Structure 1
């Protein structure tokens, strides 16, 4: 079970799906890693969430760009070319007969360590590469049901502490923020940057609409979201004013609309922040329009 923007329709087929573990197709229950794996032991790795539409992975090139940037930042050698990894993804989908309503968790860690220690010089194996596909259709209600968000104490950090633009396995600050949001009765947390400006949510990106303008953060303290970028591009291509800028919770409380973006659910409307109703408290016209534009974009990309 999942909640908020990650609520999904349960599918019994997931009990028998096949995963890809370092190039080997294995049953889900046998897709396990060693306790000395860098990802398990230290959160030392990067990952991507991918969606399959019409038999193709949406915006795959963008996701691979981000993955390779993260690998370079952490100096992890995946041991595969982009073409080889793409083939491995395709082989995994083919082995499962998967063509639609599929979510893939692609995980790459530094590999096995000889001892519990953070120094990468103790790594004794090639990188661990896991492809975990599931039949995972977003709950249809997510497109219309307004989310509740809660601003929390946990901040998005500076890049010289832990780069928030790196899609690493180390997500403890996001998890802490999520717990704080849940304890306050919200679906998800909204996180501020070190200066007090709105940065992002704990697992999605965040936008508001004010007087017909779409605002999102500067991006300095959040992951380079693929869906976030596509929505910004869609606004620019369809004469919707859009701005990447600093803004505070004060601006959010007075917004006409608000929404989140993410690979899994696309665009999801926000109805309240910190218990305060946003606009009419329902999905607004700009959010609905952008949802349709985004669905069309996905169909075009995967056709």
Structure 2
């Protein structure tokens, strides 16, 4: 039976969470947006997923960089400064007494429309901002067992059609890829770029290990992943050869190991792609090493973020 890397064990505390909606903390049942909201009508907006460890939103600066850059690219005025939005995130965590094992979905849409139409000029009022925190961790059994991937026909397209660098609410191409993978009995879809090279997965980034080297796609046709960048960083710091390059499915099938990266679960091994299993046990030696290096990076970021927060008045 297929599984999702985003699967988690239900936590009863989530029934009573408070969700930040346009400056107000609302109980789960009351945290709603209008049917005229741009995000609901058209998927017009940007978002981020954040993990909280030891009271600190991980790699917050990088996530906010991506959020504000995406908003600027689509001429969306978030309406809050980075400092104000950071404070809203911290206030939401404090109101929910959340310190660890938390995942946040930060969503920004263009706001209310006076009629359901795509033209941004029919938007009335400010952007809609939602901060949705949950007690949620990736299932340890999924992380241990690894993922089964299936290469789908849905491609990561050219940036002049829909730029894959934009973390928008409009994710239908990834959803159709996910559906195809599920119907094939896989956990996650492996997506190719328009030239037939490996690009990314439908909700995570993809890496292979060959003869002690770590490869990932050129990055031209995938989102600028925060965890992807962090894994590349720890490889370089540790002297592990890491390459962003074009490679084909043939090179995937003959790899020693493979893994996926994402904010929610970190570094997760892949056990097979299109029915081809890897030579190394799952998780393999490189994946185990990178998981340890990534945990060290997380600890460093928590300490640095806590120091910055403590120094602020």
Q: Please report the TM-score for the alignment, with normalisation by the length of structure 1.
A: 0.98
The 8 Å contact of residues 3 and 186 in structure 2, kept in 1 or not, is answered as no
Q: Distance in 2 between matches of 1:146 and 1:189?
A: 14
Q: Secondary structure of 1:114's partner?
A: coil
Moved over 3 A (4+): none
Q: What's the offset of the Cα at 1:137?
A: 1.4
Distance in 2 (CA, whole Å) between partners of 1:281 and 1:197 is 26
Deviation at residue 3 of structure 1 after TM alignment: 3.4
SS, match of residue 138 in structure 1: coil
Residues 61-76 of structure 1 correspond to what in structure 2 (within 5 A)?
61-76=61-76
Q: Say whether residues 1:58 and 2:45 are aligned partners.
A: no
1:79-112 CA-partner distances (Å, limit 9, x unpaired) = 1000000000010000000000000000000000
Residue 142 of structure 1 deviates from its aligned partner by 2.9
Q: Is contact 1:272-1:281 (8 Å) kept?
A: no
* TM-score, normalised by the number of residues in structure 2: 0.95
Residue of structure 1 equivalent to 2:109: 109
Correspondence list, 1:126-205, <5 A = 126-205=126-205
| Structure-2 separation of matches of 1:263 and 1:239 | 23
The residue that corresponds to 2:80 in the other structure is: 80
CA distance in structure 1 between the partners assigned to 2:142 and 2:266 by the alignment: 9
Q: CA deviation at 1:10?
A: 1.4
Equivalent pairs counted in the alignment come to 302
Unaligned runs of 5+ in 1: none
Q: How large is the Cα RMSD of the aligned pairs?
A: 0.9
* Displacement after TM superposition at 1:4 (Å): 2.5
CA contact (8 A) 1:142 1:265 kept: no
Q: How does 1:1-303 map to 2 (within 5 A)?
A: 3-280=3-280, 282-303=282-303
Deviation, structure 1 residue 281? 5.0
Using the TM superposition, give the Cα deviation of residue 280 of structure 1 relative to its aligned residue in structure 2, in angstroms: 3.1
